[in-house]
Structure 1
Amino acid sequence: MVIVMKPEATEEQLKEVISKIEELGYKPHVIYGTTRNVIGAVGDERGKFILQSLESLDGVEAVIPILKPYKLASKEVKKEKTVIKVGDVSIGGKEVVIIAGPCAVENEAQIINTAKTVKLMGAHILRGGAYKPRTSPYSFQGLGKEGLELLKKAGEIARMPVVTEVVNPEHVDLVCEYADILQIGTRNAQNFELLKRVGQVQKPVILKRGMSMTIKEWLMSAEYILSEGNRNVILCERGIRTFETATRNTLDLSAIAVLKEETHLPVIVDPSHATGYAKYVPSMAYAAVAAGADGLMIEVHPQPEKAFSDGPQSLNFSSFGRLVENLKLFTSVVEKI
């Protein structure tokens, strides 16, 4: 249920409604609006209509059922776009945010060189993996804590927020010490214990789409994070598994349009993992922006041919520079349409 407060409702009246929701056994989530506040009450669906009695409380304008199964992610609860601030960067605002960096942190020189270069070329956020869940147990698994330390150092030198993947609920506190944004990868998109754990911290979370997930399932995973109190969720389309073998995955650009209709959360796109080949990344990046993406996540490596992981899909510095310059031109055209 959504409890809509009157524009003139006082803070005391808001607190009283919150208290009543808790007494009835539901969890209140306050969304502060520009003209009025609303409260999402979530819990056992079977007795939700008991919340209708809240209409009699002072300051309450209406109690409205939420029809979507993803309550807090739905536009039924929050019609305005969610804009997530990370330092000086706003994700979900007017500017297309570019997240760039290597698949994995390999050594100090590699990550610092990459951070300085992508920042100079126009990237806003630095990415790099410290823990790498890999299909093969023999592949490079990341540097762990050392990788986190190097990533943070590189971010500080380049003056960029940093994002890295967290793969285990036990690692959440450690990763929070070093990263500004947590990432949930495709293999953990339905790891519900991990989703609940990152929902208990206030760091922004990039939630990648599971490789075989429907949009509804993806939004339900976002709901796990939101329901624990963390409102800072960013959805990342990174391609889904289909019968096609020409690319690593099939980039579902239609998901952007659907998500813009269904949710207030920011949506970004990872064309690197979607295609698996560096030569396809620029065109898919432009297409994602045209479809309405709020940002892009691009893999960049000083020497892709020597990368420890995902070299074929990583752009080198010169290719990334051309992409960013072309994106500026392309974005200016899209804004006029």
Structure 2
Amino acid sequence: MTELVAISHPDVPQGEMNALVDEAAAAGYTVALHRAGRRFLVFARPGYAAPPGSDFFRSKAYISDVISGNSAHPLGDRTRYPHGSTVQVGGIRFGGGQSVIIAGPCSAETPEVLLETAAKVRESGASMLRVGVFKPRTSPYTFQGLGAAAFEALIEARSRYGLPIVSEITSVSQLDALLSTVDMLQVGARNMQNYPLLSALGTCDRPVLLKRGLAATVDEWLSAAEYLLAGGNEQVVLCERGIRTYERSTRFTLDLGVVPVLKGRTHLPVIVDPSHGTGRADLIHPMSRAAIAAGADGVIVEVHPRPAQALSDGFQSLDLPGFKQLVTELEPVAQAVGRPLHAYSDLQPV
């Protein structure tokens, strides 16, 4: 069993790490060197006469962290940042002691719907705008999003209302276009284990919202996050969006117990998606309150001016008055747990 993992600073020369491995072996460690994107990981097990591993490895200038124990996810391990890490998206900070509300339509159906929704959710207290440009749908015969045709409206919405935008990426081929348009890239449930996509996002300079897979365990989810972290991108937020179980009263089973589990295992911020997690607009309010109470750093909800006319996921979308009421309901819960809602007045135009 591995006793510790030493993590290098980014871009340390291979020769320095090879010398460290030789020195550690001479000191009595059984060691293995692994390259993780821009970093190296040294997996080490001390022998009988080896010096204390934490002291030995921490004394090296090119080692940034030492994780004790047999961590399968050393870069995301809570012991790296015991108080949790923060992720900055424009003027928004996830994990910074405030609760973030992300809201918007499931998909960019028309520029008019997008701009109307952006104006109203900003007015009601949203911190960020969510909108799907590329939509991976179960059926090939359902609306797949506007694609690149929506970019102009996204840019206008951000310019008018100052809300940072998060949108889903489904293919590496979309990366350059989205990087020029949105502030945060979302990896959806169906792509959580798309390792080429995760590796590409690990090397980009944009925050990533990583949703849990449809039936992913916590370990599988954290391993997916490790791909992003290994590439050098430490701006990662995890999103619980429900998992598939035998229960059919909701679209998925929203696993709120995973929020405190993750808080104990990883330093990454965690938010919750009650829209996809339940598939029912009437459950968004109670599950959002519960998510904030459970320790989530925020929620992401689908909002549409006229849900009955939405081209995708209208049944799990709040209307505009419903979203305004949600913000009102979340305020006392967030205050009670010491993570007040991020005030729009704190935002700076992007």
What range describes the TM-score normalised by the shorter chain of this pair? 0.7 to 0.9
1:277 equivalent to 2:268? Answer no
Following superposition, the deviation at residue 18 of structure 1 comes to: 8.6
Is contact 2:7-2:41 (8 Å) kept? no
1:322 matched to which residue of 2? 325
2:234 matched to which residue of 1? 231
2:78 matched to which residue of 1? 75
Is contact 2:36-2:231 (8 Å) kept? no
2: CA distance, partners of 1:320 / 1:173: 32
2: CA distance, partners of 1:155 / 1:22: 48
TM-score, normalised by the number of residues in structure 2: 0.83
Is contact 1:186-1:208 (8 Å) kept? yes
SS of the residue aligned with 1:98? strand
Is contact 1:152-1:162 (8 Å) kept? no
1: CA distance, partners of 2:139 / 2:95: 35
2:17 to 4, 21, 28: 21
1:219 matched to which residue of 2? 222
SS of the residue aligned with 1:207? strand
1:306 matched to which residue of 2? 309
2:102 matched to which residue of 1? 99
1:165 equivalent to 2:168? Answer yes
2:24 matched to which residue of 1? none
SS of the residue aligned with 2:206? coil
Alignment of 1:256-295 (within 5 A): 256-295=259-298
Describe the superposition over 1:7-57 as per-residue Cα deviations: whole angstroms up to 9, x where unpaired. xxxx9xx99899622665644899xxxxxxxxx7427x5x78799675675
1: CA distance, partners of 2:182 / 2:244: 29
Q: Counterpart amino acid of 1:42?
A: L
Following superposition, the deviation at residue 81 of structure 1 comes to: 1.1
Most deviating of 153-162 and 72-81: 72-81
Following superposition, the deviation at residue 158 of structure 1 comes to: 0.8
1:109 matched to which residue of 2? 112
Following superposition, the deviation at residue 202 of structure 1 comes to: 1.3
2:41 matched to which residue of 1? 42
Alignment of 1:172-211 (within 5 A): 172-211=175-214
1:85 matched to which residue of 2? 88
Is contact 1:2-1:41 (8 Å) kept? no
Q: Counterpart amino acid of 2:155?
A: K
1:142 to 126, 145, 164: 145
Instruction: Quickly say closer, same or farther: Cα 1:119–1:75, change in 2 above 3 A.
Output: same
Following superposition, the deviation at residue 151 of structure 1 comes to: 1.7
TM-score, normalised by the number of residues in structure 1: 0.86
2: CA distance, partners of 1:147 / 1:136: 21
1:131 matched to which residue of 2? 134
Describe the superposition over 1:92-126 as per-residue Cα deviations: whole angstroms up to 9, x where unpaired. 11110000000000111110111111001000000
Most deviating of 83-92 and 281-290: 83-92
Instruction: Quickly say closer, same or farther: Cα 1:171–1:335, change in 2 above 3 A.
Output: same
RMSD: 2.9
Higher relative contact order (CA 8 A, sep 6+): 2
Q: Counterpart amino acid of 2:298?
A: G
Q: Counterpart amino acid of 1:72?
A: L
Following superposition, the deviation at residue 330 of structure 1 comes to: 1.9
2:348 matched to which residue of 1? none
2: CA distance, partners of 1:231 / 1:215: 19
2: CA distance, partners of 1:143 / 1:153: 16
SS of the residue aligned with 1:178? coil
Following superposition, the deviation at residue 85 of structure 1 comes to: 1.2
Q: Counterpart amino acid of 1:300?
A: V
Q: Aligned pairs, how many?
A: 318
Q: Counterpart amino acid of 1:241?
A: R
Percent of residue pairs identical: 41
Q: Which runs of 5+ in 2 are unaligned?
A: 22-32, 340-350
Following superposition, the deviation at residue 292 of structure 1 comes to: 0.2
Following superposition, the deviation at residue 79 of structure 1 comes to: 2.1
